Structure formats: C-alpha cells, structure tokens
Amino acid sequence: MALRLGTREFGPDELVVMAIVNRTPDSFFDRGATFADEAAFAAADRAVAEGAAILDIGGVKAGPGEEVGVEEELRRTVPFVAELRERHPDVVISVDTWRHEVGEAVCAVGADLLNDAWGGFDPKLAEVAAKYGAGLVCTHAGGAEPRTRPHRVGYEDVMADILAVTVGLAERALELGVRRDGLIIDPGHDFGKNTRHSLEATRRLPEMTATGFPVLVSLSNKDFVGETLDRPVDERLLGTLATTAVSAWLGARIYRAHQVAETRQVLDMVASIRGTRPPAVARRGLA
C-alpha cells in the first residue's frame, strides 16, 4: 500500500525513520534534554541530517508523572510545530497526542500526521485527521488510559487483539474520511502489554503487515528491551537495534527512534540484504 504523508510519498520497500523530539521536562530517555526550544530545534535539525524523514513531536510524557493539561500541551507543541514547518518544509511532521484539541491546533499550523499512541482514547482525533487530510497512526494500547502502566494484563491471543483493535481503528478512520494512504497501524510495544506480549508482537509482525496497512514500530529503549536483557534505559541501544533489524526483516516500515543515525544504518543494511537497496559503494573484487 502506498504511504503519503505531507509532501512525501514512501514506496512499499522504503524503510522510514521517525525521530523522537520530546517537548517535555521529564521524558524517560532524554530526561528533558529537548524541552527548551533551541535544544529541540537542534535535535530536529540533527535528526533530519542523519536520515529521519518524519519528526515526531511529543508534549506529554507517555508514562505517569506531573499532570499536563490541554493548555500546557498546546503551549509545548503548537508554536514549535509552526516554526518547524518553516524550517523544514519537506519533512513530515508528526505529533504524538491523544487529544483532539491538540490535534486540531497542530494540524492548523502544519502537522502532517497524528500519532495516536493511546489507541483511540479520544475518538474525535480521527475526525481531526479527516478534516485536515492528515495521516493517523492507529495503535494498540490494550484499552489502557493515557499515561498508565500495564498491571496484570492478559490476552488469550495478543496478536489477535492487536489486529482487531488497530484494523478496527483504521476502518473507522476510513469511514470518517481519513485517507487510506495516510493510515498506519502500530502494535504498541509496552503499551498495555508486558515484556512477553511485546516480544510475541514482534515475532508475529507479518500478521500485521498482511493487512496491507503500513506498520510502525516504536521500539526505542523501551522497557521490554530492558527487561529482556536486564539493562537500564541508557544501555538499551543494542537490544533496540537488534529488534529493529528483526522488525525490518519481518516487514515493518516506520521506526520511531531516539538514535537516528544508528537506526538508519541498521535499516539500510537490512534493505541491502533484502535486495531493495544497492550498496552505497561496491569496490571489492571489481578491479
């Protein structure tokens, strides 16, 4: 299926990096490193230079923490998105939000994609995407409320639940008028899941790609990687990249990442092994 976001069209074999730019003082990985405007713009510029085609802007930490109301989320995201649109007219700008009020405001100033990481918690968000012609990420969060951690969560078949929810959200979005070539599904690693659920979701990614919708995976430095390898947040890069390579081989197309350059190299290597990308140079044995 074709994927069109903003001014960009991505081919079916194209592996895309979505760079994370957090506008929060308490993000789990960078701990507020890009909360200040100039630090955030510098991070965005660097991500684009390193190969990110999508910039994902988040104004609220995913996990529990200080309450962030609509007005504060708007303050953190809207002016930044507007300026980012001026600085990078051809880059896809995504905003990670579950609130339709925020979706409306960021789309009005140039956002191309709404990353609904909490699985349709606010059903009006899909209506906003339809209104503005924006793309929409339909995520499985196991019915969890925003900013909550999973507790004693269980599934008879985790992938069956993922498929029912994400495809259901995508079909509803289509009925509301969201463009089919702007719809993406995401298994929601860690969201409403324990580590074994996230591992199973990864190895069963072909069941998601078989739906025809492009699949996004948000793997970067997550708890399922940390628990699998028993590593703290700042020592999860190798596990993240291993999971990235496996996910690419299994057909996922978009990779939400903190470390763009490393992710880009892994995806390029997988694409070259798969035969959809030529080597950057080829000298050995040719002279």
Tell me the CA end-to-end span of the chain in Å, nearest whole number: 41
Burial tier of 108 (Cβ tally within 10 Å: 0-12, 13-18, 19+): middle
Determine the Cα–Cα distance for residues 142 and 165; give it in Å rounded to an integer. 8
- 193 is known as an active-site residue: no
Task: For residue 243, give both structure tokens.
Answer: 């999971």
How far apart CA 249 and CA 270 sit, in angstroms, is: 7
Backbone phi, then psi, for 181, in 5-degree steps? -80, 10
Task: Clarify whether 61 is annotated catalytic.
Answer: no
Identified catalytic residue from 222, 236, 253, 264: 222
Read out DSSP for 195-244? Answer: HHHHHHHHHTHHHHHTTSS-BEEE-TT-HHHHHHHT--GGG-HHHHHHHH
**What are the residues whose beta carbons fall under 8 Å from the beta carbon of 229, sequence distance 6 or more?**
236, 238, 239
Q: At 122, is the secondary structure helix, strand, or coil? A: coil
Catalytic residues: 222, 256
